[in-house]
Amino acid sequence: MIEAQAITKQFGDHPAVSDLSFRAEPGRILGLLGPNGAGKTTTIRMIMNILAPDSGAISINGHRLREEDKAIIGYLPEERGLYQKVSVVEMLTYLGELKGKSRKDLQVSIDSWLERFDLLEWKDKPINELSKGMSQKVQFIASINHDPSVILFDEPFAGLDPVSADVLTETIMELGNQGKTILFSTHITEHAERICSDILLMHKGKKIESGSLREIKSKYAGNTVILEFDGNGGFIETLPMVEQIVSYPRRVEVRLKPSAGPDELLKAVVGRITIQRFEVSAPSLHSIFVERTGVERTGLERTGSESP
């Protein structure tokens, strides 16, 4: 378990993290979700004791981080770093041995992970011959190859193609199901919605919302409509019953005013666009963020997926 109690970190006059408290529990996946500059990486670096908080406390499994605890922690940093001249298998073996694993045990797990990520034929190749995406997968394997019980991922999907991202998603969810404590930061809302049990929504170093994904969506549930259509839907945001709108390619997520209902919106758009889908739905994390901050251009990203 990871627990942070009122942690604060300031760089000069800039408050990177302010009075932040949260708990990441075994068997659950906590997503730190927020735009670039929200304080996610600084928070993870404080957990790893790379940075010390100016105030507050962080504990791993009930106590402050100790040197011996690092053997049970897996960490994928935002800035990737692998020795370029050594082979993939040498790199993974070296990093695994630093965590206290035997070379014999590591060889079995290394081959298994390389096969899963379609890298087995690159096993004896030097790191500098790998593509950026391949190197990212190798570093991901390095963070979990020693079978840690606590895992921190900082933007783990950066640079991955969709197929590799799907394998990564499946792997993270499996690790959570094995009872591991997992915390990962992302600025991509779809990843958070697909993977996370719990969400810590951050903005300008502060917590603006937290809880289970189900609780957060239920809290903001209401008159939200997913409208997929063909045609020019630019007029929708000007309709009198619309309180907030989040636009996707060929789709909008409409938050209606408390006094309005979905039927009123449907009546207003029929005949002006060709409706492919009209669904009353829970709001997305992106729209919740916009509602809580009042900021539309946040740096949060949504993939090109058409799912809400």
**Does 41 share its domain with 179?**
yes
**Does 208 share its domain with 122?**
yes
295 — pLDDT class (breaks 50, 70, 90):
low
286 inside domain:
no
125 inside domain:
yes
306 inside domain:
no
pLDDT at residue 84, as a whole number: 86
Residues 6+ apart with CB under 8 A from 224: 253, 254, 255, 256, 280, 281, 282, 283, 287
pLDDT at residue 301, as a whole number: 62
Nearest CA-CA partner of 201 in 50, 43, 68, 71: 43
pLDDT tens for each residue of 78-91: 877 788 889 999 99
Tokens of 63: 């106590």
| For residue 45, pLDDT beyond 90 | yes
First-to-last alpha carbon distance for the chain, in angstroms, is 31
**Does 150 share its domain with 166?**
yes
pLDDT tens for each residue of 90-116: 999 999 999 989 998 898 899 999 999
What's the whole-number mean pLDDT along residues 164-184? 95
Amino acid letter for position 6: A
What's the whole-number mean pLDDT along residues 1-28? 95
Q: 235 or 300: whose pLDDT is higher?
A: 235
Using DSSP bridges, classify how beta strands 206-212 and 181-186 pair: parallel, antiparallel or unpaired.
Answer: unpaired
308 inside domain:
no
| For residue 298, pLDDT beyond 70 | no
Enclosing domain of residue 257: 222-281
Using DSSP bridges, classify how beta strands 181-186 and 55-60 pair: parallel, antiparallel or unpaired.
Answer: unpaired
| For residue 308, pLDDT beyond 70 | no
193 inside domain:
yes
Q: Which residues face 189 on adjacent strands?
A: none
How many angstroms separate the CA atoms of 77 and 127, rounded? 17
| For residue 121, pLDDT beyond 70 | yes
Asked which of 164, 197, 217 is the last residue of a domain, the reply is: 217
**Does 178 share its domain with 237?**
no
30 inside domain:
yes
**Does 234 share its domain with 92?**
no
Asked which of 189, 217, 245 is the last residue of a domain, the reply is: 217
| For residue 219, pLDDT beyond 90 | no
Whether this prediction's pTM lies above 0.85 is answered by no
**Does 93 share its domain with 46?**
yes
For residue 188, how far is the Cα from the chain centroid? 7
Considering its fold, how many domains does the chain have in total?
2
96 inside domain:
yes
pLDDT tens for each residue of 220-271: 776 889 999 999 999 999 999 998 888 887 889 998 988 898 999 999 999 9
| For residue 160, pLDDT beyond 80 | yes
